[in-house]
Structure 1
Amino acid sequence: MVAFISHTTVDCTDAYALSTWWKVTLGYTDLDDDPNGLGDEECMIRDPKTGHLLLFVETPDAAEAKQRSGKNRIHFDLRPATSSQEQEVEALVARGASVVGDLRGKYGPGTGWVVLADPEGNEFCVLRSEAERAATV
């Protein structure tokens, strides 16, 4: 048997706000036949290039999880498409992300990543861009 991932689901306290934040961050769009609206308890967004789907679902335990300490069991690793790692981190922080840890240079010059948290506290990493990686090889 072989299966495929239909979509990735993120539990949250405000599906519309968080899906909107990630939509801008990733360049995703609403579904043509199911646009997201303020107050929706489930909001799905799609990568217009790959079709990858992210579903944000309001859950009662999301508020408790937001207060937790410790690393997410699953998280996104973002690689900047058109900017540098530094520019991407600055833009995300300006839009409401917070820096959790800065591991740039941990494994030598030109290596590492920055751990951020989205507005609901979900951690994700910002890696170096492909151009930055190629420049240090």
Structure 2
Amino acid sequence: MTLFVSHTTIDCHDAYALSEWWKALLGYVDVEGDPNLPGHEECMILDPESGHQLLFIEVPDQELPAKRIHLDLRPRTGTRDEEVERLLELGATQIADHRGKYGPGTGWVHFADPEGNQFCVLRSEAEVATQEAQVSGT
């Protein structure tokens, strides 16, 4: 099993304003079907050529953390939970477990590498597709 970078996450105070600024700078666009609007606490933008994504997430802290940018990773094969176990065996430090944050089968797990660099492990694309099919009844 291995992981791939799903997107790069940036902690901020105003997700919408910052995503709009980076869209103008980089020529990125909103994700189709998921437009960013003022007041959104999470705003994803996409490079229409490479597919790279930046996710801006509002954090409540008055002072932003020193490590404001981190990678969000998805399993290439297998499941998020299998990767969580593998990462713990490799020596990653679990910082927080947000599995189930938005209901059963959702969420992510927050880790740090051996030098303290933070990253999150999301559900695999197959897990997301399975849950979406269950929700839509197909």
Query: What's the TM-score, normalizing by structure 1?
Result: 0.48
Query: What's the TM-score, normalizing by structure 2?
Result: 0.48
Higher strand proportion (structure 1 or 2):
2
